């Protein structure tokens, strides 16, 4: 398992973060408005899983400690 984890880190391939059409559109625009929009979208998509995990963790915490307080 540990070997597999290290192999993902040390033998990863380079990849581009967007499709060719998005990349061309972002590189051709000089004002950077589209690039800012893309970056905002990426941040939005990154935040949602963390919020869901935090909410699930909080719910589990409340359920576990509410049961301990009843005893």
pLDDT at residue 62 in the model: 93
Per-residue pLDDT of the chain (71 residues; tens, 9 = 90+): 777 777 777 766 655 555 667 777 777 777 778 878 888 888 888 999 999 999 999 999 999 988 777 65
Among residues 15, 13, 16, 12, the alpha carbon closest in space to that of 38 is found at 16
What pLDDT does 41 receive?
85
CB 26 within 8 A of CB 41: no
């Amino acid at each position: 398992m540990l070997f597999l984890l290290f192999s993902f880190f040390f033998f990863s391939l380079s990849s581009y973060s967007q499709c060719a059409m998005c990349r061309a559109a972002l590189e051709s625009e000089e004002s950077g408005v589209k690039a800012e929009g893309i970056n905002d979208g990426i941040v939005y998509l990154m935040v949602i899983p963390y919020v869901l995990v935090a909410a699930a963790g909080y719910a589990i915490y409340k359920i576990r400690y509410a049961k301990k307080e009843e005893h």
